[in-house]
Structure 1
Amino acid sequence: MKKIILFIVIMLLASCSTDDAHSIPEDTNIKNVSIEKLTINNQEFEIIPTYSYYLDYIAEQQNSNISKNESFLNHVVTPVSNEIYGNSYSLNGNYHFATPRSISVLNEYISQLVEKHGDIIRFLEEGLTDSSDMLPGGNYKIFLTPYNPDESSLYMQGVAGFADEGLIVLQIDPNVFTGASLKETVAHEYHHTVYIEFSDYETRLHHLIDRVIMEGKADTFAKAVYPDHSPLWIEPLSPDTSKVVWAYIKENKYSYKYEDIINLFYGSVADGLPRWSNYKMGYHLMESFLSNNPDMSVEEWTFIPATEIIEGTEFSLK
């Protein structure tokens, strides 16, 4: 009887284990998910799924005792960094590539992303078509990754991303994203890639004002492409909060400190800053500028320096 009770206790403890690798479904078949090449408005786009790297991470977690951080670095961060940037270190410390610990959920995400791959490609093509119709650009690579299952994607409407020279990285939660949220994110990041390619972005450092206006421009562009879609990060600030956020931006306007933009992005209780203050204020500044310059084309305002944008609003940097 004691042996039976002990066996039951062991089984119950195992079922409550925080390491959920034992519950991973069978291997996900990604053989039909390959690089897609799209030609849109004389621009070339490569859609590159990175799911195989994540499956290598999942497989190692099933079959070894290597730490999750070490395994994810070896199987995802380093090879994806090599594929995107041509080096092994550019994604180190990038919060988009924090180690996912919910292994079985990550595997399920990839299975669903593979199942929905056709729809994802269709939405991407629509988003790139709508965006390039409004603002011509160059040839870009778009990397697809699963959203980190340890984090809620609800506020981001199932899609997160970032852009760099010639590329966009998209992270997709298959349970939350919609065609509208994916296309809006594509438009936002597409604007970044065009700005980076055709401005002086790569030849100088960027202070706080540059970064706030850069996000404001991308959101203004996405809103122009999809006027019916309103993400949470551009909801207007209250008048009082707007004054607090602007005072912080004005005080640190020429700062190159990463912590200052992070305070605006994540919010700071000590400074009275709500989350996404850089997006909200950047979008508000662009609204103010365009209300004073209603006939200016997208291509014109895209490349106007940040300080000149602010000079065309009711705000002052002095």
Structure 2
Amino acid sequence: MLDLRVHFLEADGAAADRAAPVDVIVERRPGETIPELGLSGACYRRGLVTVTLDPDNPNFAASLANGELRKTLTHELHHSFRHAMCGYGFRLGEVLVTEGLADAFDAEINGGDGNRWNHAIPAEDWLGVIEQAELELWADAYNHSAWFFGWSSHGNPLPRWAGYSIGYHLVKAYLAANPDARPSQMTGTPAPEVIGQAWAHLKIRMTAEA
């Protein structure tokens, strides 16, 4: 017997005087979250955020206690706001900035210095990874799974979460050069502006620490 359940999403049809309405969908999908957390998030367009939970994951309870659900929602909300302003991005450079801003927004709201995926590149690998990214920043296509998740059907030399690490430290370099800037105020800041001002500083700082 068919069990049909219809859920109406309301954010896109909200009145114009309501500021940045967002629908948040919470779903349970065992085995389809970040293994280290037991939860994950996604935002593919403005006004809609999805949070995925796996209560059976052995790390799930600790994640809830540590505020990971709040951090995930904060990250995805920044994506939603940026989708409404300038989009997620289609090129590697654009996506590095979008993801870096979302994680920097999490740090702005919730404190701390990012997440484990923002510190995933070994010091000795930074130069090679940054130089590889430079070659692909504005290419018409890039391998998102390889850069951000370490997935590649052809073998992948990139560290897992490399894109998240580059993006986060890139935005940190931009914020250091622009002390009055805040990720919460940068939902519409173009990626070329961030990369133009911060890339050289990022490369010098991170390779110097190697």
What is the TM-score when the length of structure 1 is the normalising length? 0.51
**Offset of residue 306 of structure 1:** 0.9
* Alignment CA distance shift 1:174-1:271 (3 Å): closer
- Three-state SS of the structure 2 residue aligned to 1:313 is helix
Change (3 A) 1:301 1:275: same
Q: Where in structure 2 are the equivalents of 1:1-318 lying within 5 Å?
A: 138-147=20-29, 149-151=30-32, 153-155=34-36, 157-163=37-43, 164-175=45-56, 176=60, 177-179=63-65, 180-197=67-84, 199-201=85-87, 206-228=90-112, 230-235=114-119, 237-257=121-141, 260-267=143-150, 270-315=155-200
Structure 1 residue 172: Cα displacement: 0.9
Tell which has more relative contact order, 1 or 2 (C-alpha 8 A, sep 6+): 2
Q: Is the 8 A contact 1:144 1:170 kept in 2?
A: yes
Who wins on radius of gyration, i.e. which is larger? Answer: 1
CA gap of 1:162–1:185, structure 2 versus 1, over 3 A, is: same
- 1:153–1:173 contact (8 Å) kept in structure 2: no
Q: Secondary structure at the match of 2:51?
A: strand
User: One-letter code of the match for 1:174?
Assistant: P
Higher helix share: 1
**Structure 2 stretches lacking a partner, 5+ long:** 13-17, 202-210
**What SS does structure 2 have at the residue aligned with 1:144?**
strand
Aligned-residue Cα RMSD (Å) equals 3.1
Conserved 8 A contact 1:241-1:273: no
Asked if the contact 2:49–2:76 (Cα under 8 Å) also holds between the matched residues in 1, the reply is yes
Flag structure 1 segments of 5+ consecutive residues without an equivalent: 1-52, 57-74, 87-135
What's the CA shift for 1:283? 0.3
Query: SS where residue 186 of structure 2 aligns?
Result: helix
Please tell me whether the aligned partners of residues 161 and 170 of structure 1 are also in contact (alpha carbons under 8 angstroms). Answer: yes
Percent identity over the alignment is 24
Aligned residue pairs total 185
Equivalent residue of 2:25, what SS? Answer: strand
**1:137–1:194 Cα contact (<8 Å) kept:** no
Inter-partner Cα distance in structure 1 for 2:21 and 2:78 = 13
Structure 2 counterpart of 1:232, one-letter code: R
- Secondary structure at the aligned position of 1:315 is classed as helix
Distance 1:196 1:140 in 2: 12
Question: Residue by residue, what CA displacement relative to the aligned partner does 1:169-192 show, whole Å, maximum 9, x if unpaired?
Answer: 110122404050100000000001
Distance 1:158 1:312, change over 3 A: same
Offset at residue 139 of structure 1 (A) = 0.5
- Per-residue deviation at 1:228? 3.5
